[in-house]
Structure 1
Amino acid sequence: MIQVKERIRAYLWKKIKDTYPLTWEDLQLSVPPDASMGDLCFTFPFKLARSLKKNPRQIAEEIATALSGLEDLEKVDIAGPGYINLFLHRPRFFLEGLRSLAAPQLQPQEKKIIVEHTNINPNKAAHIGHLRNACLGDTLVRCLRYQGEQVEVQNYIDDTGVQVVDVVFGFLELEKKSLSEVESIADRFDYYCWDLYTRVSAYLAAHPEAQPRKAEILRKIEHGESPEADYAHYISRRILRAHLATMKRLGITYDVLPCESSILALNFWEQAFHLLRAKKGLSLMDSGPNQGCWVMKLEGDEEKEKVIVRSDGTVTYVGKDIAYQLWKFGLLERDFYYEPFLQEDGHIIWITTSEPRAATPSFGRASKVYNVIDVRQSYLQKIVAQGLRVLGYEKQADKSIHFSYEMVALSPKSLQELGFELSEEEKGRSFYEVSGRKGVGVKADDLLDKLEIKALAEVAKRNPELPAEDKIRIAREIACGAVRYFMLKLARNSLLIFDFDEALNFEGETGPYLQYTAVRLNSIFRKLEAKEGFTRGQLAALMKTESLRLESLPEKEKADFWELVVLASQFEEAVDQSIISLEFAHLAKFAFNLCQKINGYYHLYPILNEKNEDLKQVRLLTVAYVLEVLKKVLNLMGIPLPDKM
């Protein structure tokens, strides 16, 4: 649809630009409220009427003549006081849609884009809240790449942060384990550390006298001193591998893992601090509650200030983030060293290091950066952008995009299913926030395991003849689809309340419903090949046909055909709008609506037993077209397409 719209606009613009006081932006196409009024509509005659002091209908009639001869249009009507309604040439439109399936019409806008997402503290297992970040970020990456962008995916690893410090504290002070004893833990290490982290949080809350020791551990880790830094390195790397394995279950991967330890060791902050001081972007406070701190005055409110460097000389989280953001744009005049960390299906995931290495890939130097971080970090993300503005990097600040989203909470019912005891007051609440410190949350792998077990039972019931390994593979694909759609289907700034019954529902507005629709459509062509010998190669050849006899369709079917084709043709517009708004619920809703439409269409207009060859050809091509669009949208949402369900 995008290509057709642009062709119509360009054709008309060339004809009228020298006659009427219009801009290119004025020639926007909208959709009439009823299909009987046309497929597209121009409304700009009303704007012209005000400037030309003429009747808008008269203007519309004049302009309509300029559209004559355009092959994309079957007819042009003037409606009401001045609407220009356009009726597309249906066979031409549909056949062009079939031919353009392999060639996306979206165009790249940037030289290079960095998307930073996931960013789980490497101190315990990933939980369901982390999945929303990763699914949103990965869907953005897939859509940008579909648009033709060069995208680099980063997963920031805070391997020297206080969360890692807490686990190091737990091993050293509570469990009194040597590093070799930690290394010999055979249990799931990320789960083990989940429980340990909860214990440490409770212990520190009850024993404030332990805080100096925790502060000492933090200082030693930041300065790379043994044995504390050795514990932190081992713990963070082992848990990081567990996180990557969890994300791989959802088809999510990364290009590079920038580590906070590398930022500290390579003095990134010192360079950023030097640049900010030179531009007078930081002030040393000589009195007040922030005495001895370096602060940044807040843009628009000089009375407020944000501490960037504490009075003890340690840099805050946002300070390191400013340095990291400068590096992403290639503005820091420093770089990391890199080494391979993991290889997944031929793809190397690199990790930063402070030690020089032989020839390695180049990362960073983006023209646009998306930081996928929850809405609670909005204030700090504004500070990061302000740091760039202070240094005169207005363009880069404008292209520092905070892709925010609301948190994931748990329903009281879900908490009880997990074995948590709730007070009467808590039972009456509509949701309960996930808390890693309290150990309250659904571990991501536990959620996937539960989904896979349920899916496996359903697959085995429907397809008892399948080999066991095929059943397991399909169950995993269904579980992945269930989670990914669940994480996308609500607006990103809506609180996502996780409930087991909803997440495990295989009907309605769910990932498995989308997968089932695609599997059902695929089965039509398998059955057609088995029954009539009509192969996929013959289907591919048919999709290149130059003629289509739509006149053979009954009126009701003709209307249903056209409504379905127009909806499917809006796929790339749904992708484009999702990227612009960062609302991938639009894409999820588009996929759901398309599945509903094609299921209704096929129920009314079967293919396998149709005797009329003209009708059969139209239906066959319609289903093939929708299936190919559905495959594309499923892939962009990271939802696998099983063989059977």
Structure 2
Amino acid sequence: MQEVVRERLATAIAKLFDIEINDFAVEIPPRTELGDLAFPVAFELAKRLKASTGQKQNPREIASRLASELSGIDGVARVEIAGAGYINFYYDRAAYLSNITGSPSKPEPQLGGKIIVEHTSVNPNKAAHIGHLRNAVLGDTIVRLLHAAGEQVETQNYIDNTGAQVADVVVGFKYLEQKTLEDIKAIEGKFDYYCWDLYARVGAFYEEDASRLKHRADTLHELESGEGEVYEMAEYISMRVLHCHLETMARINIKYDVMPRESDVLHLHIWQRAFDLLKERGAVEFETEGKLAGCWVMRAADELVEKADEASEHEPDKVIVRSNGTVTYTGKDIAFHLWKLGQLDINFYYKPFHTYGDGQLAWITTSDEGENDPAHPSFGNASAYFNVIDIGQSYPQHYVKLGVMAIDHDERVERSAHVAYEKVVLSPATAEQLGLRLSEEDRKRKGMSMSGRKGLGVKVDDLIDELTSNALAEVANRHPDLSEEDRRDTARKIAIGALRYFLLKYTRTSIIFFDFKEALAFDGETGPYIQYSVVRANSIFRKLSEAGIDPDKTAISEVSRERVAELLSGQDGDDLWSLIYLATRLDEVVRSAVAALEPAPVAKWAFQLAQRFNLFYHHYHILSEQDPARRALLVAITAMVRSQLIATLDLLGITAPDRM
């Protein structure tokens, strides 16, 4: 409906003023008496007309002239001028309700083509911690939002299986514990937890004798060779840890389509092909003098040079290949992203790696043609990509995009983006509850940061277990009649809802201070509060059935439009209309979230809708309502809100339990 109004307004502007404005602001008035849509476009027109004619224009007069051209829009009851020049539209409420209770339309993609979203990308050397979890939840939710917006999406999880982190765990097994590959295979229990502790011990191992760092250098060299005993050990360790990661992420409803591995990027010479293209296009230059002599660098844009002159911590020119011939992470990223966009005429081989509970396969790359499964889906060849990487990587990610744009100038590629996010820290109370030892000084801090290298942090599985345990105690207290299986299933859904919502309600660039008590609260801006609203809506329909009232026979479609209009007038009508109108704005909220790559507004909207519905729940009593038409309206509103809340929770990766 909003798009129809926009088009008519743009047509009127062109007719009356011979000015083309297609992208103008629209506001939702704070109160229903001010209308359903408000356009301040008359103010912009006044500025443009004054600039072209030299004469001052009155925005209110401009708005009045436009309003005279906007009568007769289907679904709009009236158009009014407000304030100094706002054009306010009032919907025909009965017609609007009739239209939205029909079949929903399929959204038209705004970006077009395949979009690759890369997220999680945890080093496969130890258990995932809560910092990794924010990346994964954020990325997964963006994937869900893109799907909801009608986009074609491929979800990737890049696996750095040849880096220093994996090398350090290999050093730990080989030199610290002196284990063979067969010894490692015999380790039982949570292998990623074992590696977590070992990784922390390796840090101390190096600190005791710096000469031991040679073990890391030698191991890295053997990993890049792609063969030998050390490579086989690293392959087994990294892939076993990766299986652990996938099982952990599946607990919070996160899945992947394909997992490209850095070892295959190296062995298939994807970097070399990208390097040749960068040189051909003049995107990189060989430095012959100064401190970067012998390096291949990417020149900075003027604005970055200015920032560097202001005592920036980064060099204005980005090194892509060091003087010793090794490729930087930025160089590898450029190559990998060019493969994503189908610019290298090289492809990986693929094999199945992990099967999820619903039968979905997660594929992994391989450089061995003999392992290739010809039945694999088509991966890569995207029109754009979104990379979820922490905010500290903004500088190198800027150069990654510059390198990609030097080869691929498609305007859709320009929309590709680094989706940056801030860190997660724990409240002191939560840190202690999870077993971290805190000093008195630590307890006075607002939050506790984590370090995987020092073994300081909270593993995702421990966090989920603790949240589930807390939720289980509450469920058992409220529903002692439930079976143990149902209690655990309910507790798990509440825990996941609490965790995911807590990580999503903050904007990406906000630091999150995670607290158990706050996240699990049934009141306030939490996942359980929204889940509870769905449970309440379900209870209304259950009670209707128990009372012998068939909700299907109280359909609003059986009520005349005139009667619906009457029910949606007056103070109560305004109240009901405001809930209807809010509930139908999900598509608009999703489009806005996709445009900004920011899920937080979706989480906020879900909370607002749940709040409004809970007020509705307490104020209107459907079971005791004697007027059949009014009852039909209340049932329709409840069904609509329930449907939208369930859909929104699904976008956030959350499921509502049957009881709470």
Same fold at TM > 0.5: yes
SS in structure 2 opposite 1:298?
coil
Structure 1 range deviating more: 173-182 or 353-362: 353-362
Give me the whole-angstrom Cα distance separating, in 2, the residues matched to 1:71 and 1:446: 56
**Map of 1:404 onto structure 2:** 420
Q: Given the alignment of the two structures, is residue 322 of structure 1 paired with residue 334 of structure 2, yes or no?
A: yes
What is the Cα deviation at residue 424 of structure 1?
4.2
Q: Is the 8 A contact 2:117 2:156 kept in 1?
A: yes
Q: Is the 8 A contact 1:299 1:386 kept in 2?
A: no
Structure 1 length-normalised TM = 0.94
Q: Identify which of 584, 587, 592 aligns with 1:569.
A: 584
Amino acid of the structure 2 residue aligned with 1:347: Q
Q: Given the alignment of the two structures, is residue 525 of structure 1 paired with residue 541 of structure 2, yes or no?
A: yes
**Map of 2:259 onto structure 1:** 257
SS in structure 1 opposite 2:355?
strand
Give me the whole-angstrom Cα distance separating, in 1, the residues matched to 2:212 and 2:466: 39
Q: Is the 8 A contact 2:78 2:91 kept in 1?
A: yes
What is the Cα deviation at residue 106 of structure 1?
5.2
SS in structure 2 opposite 1:19?
helix
Give me the whole-angstrom Cα distance separating, in 2, the residues matched to 1:228 and 1:543: 70
Q: Identify which of 85, 88, 99 aligns with 1:85.
A: 88
What is the Cα deviation at residue 392 of structure 1?
5.7
SS in structure 1 opposite 2:402?
helix
Amino acid of the structure 1 residue aligned with 2:118: E
**Map of 1:98 onto structure 2:** 101
**Map of 2:615 onto structure 1:** 600
**Map of 1:61 onto structure 2:** 64
SS in structure 2 opposite 1:213?
helix
Q: Identify which of 196, 199, 208 aligns with 2:198.
A: 196
SS in structure 2 opposite 1:29?
coil
What is the Cα deviation at residue 30 of structure 1?
2.6
What is the Cα deviation at residue 452 of structure 1?
1.1
What is the Cα deviation at residue 55 of structure 1?
4.1
Give me the whole-angstrom Cα distance separating, in 1, the residues matched to 2:471 and 2:41: 53
Per-residue CA deviations over 1:385-431 (Å, capped at 9, x if unaligned) read: 12123436364652320000001112233333333333444343322
Give me the whole-angstrom Cα distance separating, in 2, the residues matched to 1:267 and 1:366: 20
Structure 1 range deviating more: 525-534 or 15-24: 15-24
Amino acid of the structure 2 residue aligned with 1:335: N
What is the Cα deviation at residue 583 of structure 1?
2.0
Q: Is the 8 A contact 1:291 1:311 kept in 2?
A: yes
Query: Residue 219 and residue 188 in structure 1: after superposition, are their counterparts in 2 closer, same or farther (change >3 A)?
Result: same
Amino acid of the structure 2 residue aligned with 1:30: E
Q: Given the alignment of the two structures, is residue 381 of structure 1 paired with residue 384 of structure 2, yes or no?
A: no
Equivalenced residue count is 639
**Map of 2:311 onto structure 1:** none
What is the Cα deviation at residue 245 of structure 1?
0.5
**Map of 1:349 onto structure 2:** 362
Q: Identify which of 480, 488, 503 aligns with 1:472.
A: 488
Structure 1 range deviating more: 621-630 or 355-364: 355-364
Q: Identify which of 15, 29, 37 aligns with 1:18.
A: 15
Give me the whole-angstrom Cα distance separating, in 2, the residues matched to 1:26 and 1:348: 42
Give me the whole-angstrom Cα distance separating, in 1, the residues matched to 2:9 and 2:410: 37
Give me the whole-angstrom Cα distance separating, in 2, the residues matched to 1:477 and 1:26: 41
Q: Given the alignment of the two structures, is residue 167 of structure 1 paired with residue 179 of structure 2, yes or no?
A: no
**Counterparts of residues 140-159 of structure 1 (less than 5 Å):** 140-159=142-161
Query: Residue 83 and residue 298 in structure 1: after superposition, are their counterparts in 2 closer, same or farther (change >3 A)?
Result: closer
Give me the whole-angstrom Cα distance separating, in 2, the residues matched to 1:33 and 1:66: 25
Q: Is the 8 A contact 1:8 1:72 kept in 2?
A: no
Give me the whole-angstrom Cα distance separating, in 1, the residues matched to 2:121 and 2:176: 27
Give me the whole-angstrom Cα distance separating, in 1, the residues matched to 2:196 and 2:89: 61
Per-residue CA deviations over 1:448-507 (Å, capped at 9, x if unaligned) read: 111111222222222222222222212111111111101101111000112232233333
Q: Identify which of 633, 638, 645 aligns with 2:653.
A: 638
Q: Any gaps of 5 or more consecutive residues in structure 2?
A: 306-314
Give me the whole-angstrom Cα distance separating, in 2, the residues matched to 1:367 and 1:328: 9
Query: Residue 16 and residue 224 in structure 1: after superposition, are their counterparts in 2 closer, same or farther (change >3 A)?
Result: closer
Query: Residue 80 and residue 509 in structure 1: after superposition, are their counterparts in 2 closer, same or farther (change >3 A)?
Result: closer
What is the Cα deviation at residue 61 of structure 1?
3.0
**Map of 1:447 onto structure 2:** 463
Structure 2 length-normalised TM = 0.92
**Map of 1:511 onto structure 2:** 527
SS in structure 2 opposite 1:308?
strand
What is the Cα deviation at residue 184 of structure 1?
0.6
C-alpha root-mean-square deviation of aligned residues, in Å?
2.2
What is the Cα deviation at residue 229 of structure 1?
0.5
What is the Cα deviation at residue 104 of structure 1?
4.3
**Counterparts of residues 191-590 of structure 1 (less than 5 Å):** 191-300=193-302, 304-344=316-356, 345-356=358-369, 357-359=372-374, 360-391=376-407, 393=409, 395=411, 398-534=414-550, 537-538=552-553, 542=556, 547=561, 548-552=563-567, 555-590=570-605
Structure 1 range deviating more: 78-87 or 151-160: 78-87
Task: State percent identity of aligned pairs.
Answer: 46
Query: Residue 167 and residue 47 in structure 1: after superposition, are their counterparts in 2 closer, same or farther (change >3 A)?
Result: closer
Q: Given the alignment of the two structures, is residue 71 of structure 1 paired with residue 74 of structure 2, yes or no?
A: yes
**Counterparts of residues 28-67 of structure 1 (less than 5 Å):** 28-49=25-46, 51=49, 53=55, 55-67=58-70
Query: Residue 306 and residue 86 in structure 1: after superposition, are their counterparts in 2 closer, same or farther (change >3 A)?
Result: closer
Q: Is the 8 A contact 2:467 2:516 kept in 1?
A: no
SS in structure 2 opposite 1:514?
helix
Amino acid of the structure 2 residue aligned with 1:330: G
Q: Is the 8 A contact 2:93 2:568 kept in 1?
A: no
Q: Any gaps of 5 or more consecutive residues in structure 1?
A: none
Structure 1 range deviating more: 408-417 or 210-219: 408-417
Give me the whole-angstrom Cα distance separating, in 1, the residues matched to 2:83 and 2:191: 70
Give me the whole-angstrom Cα distance separating, in 2, the residues matched to 1:370 and 1:558: 44
Per-residue CA deviations over 1:218-251 (Å, capped at 9, x if unaligned) read: 1001111311111111011111111101111111
Give me the whole-angstrom Cα distance separating, in 2, the residues matched to 1:538 and 1:150: 39
Structure 1 range deviating more: 495-504 or 41-50: 41-50
Give me the whole-angstrom Cα distance separating, in 2, the residues matched to 1:310 and 1:47: 52
Amino acid of the structure 1 residue aligned with 2:200: T
SS in structure 2 opposite 1:365?
coil
Q: Is the 8 A contact 1:257 1:349 kept in 2?
A: yes
What is the Cα deviation at residue 14 of structure 1?
4.2
Q: Is the 8 A contact 1:5 1:29 kept in 2?
A: no
Q: Is the 8 A contact 1:49 1:59 kept in 2?
A: yes
Query: Residue 55 and residue 275 in structure 1: after superposition, are their counterparts in 2 closer, same or farther (change >3 A)?
Result: closer
Q: Is the 8 A contact 2:124 2:241 kept in 1?
A: yes
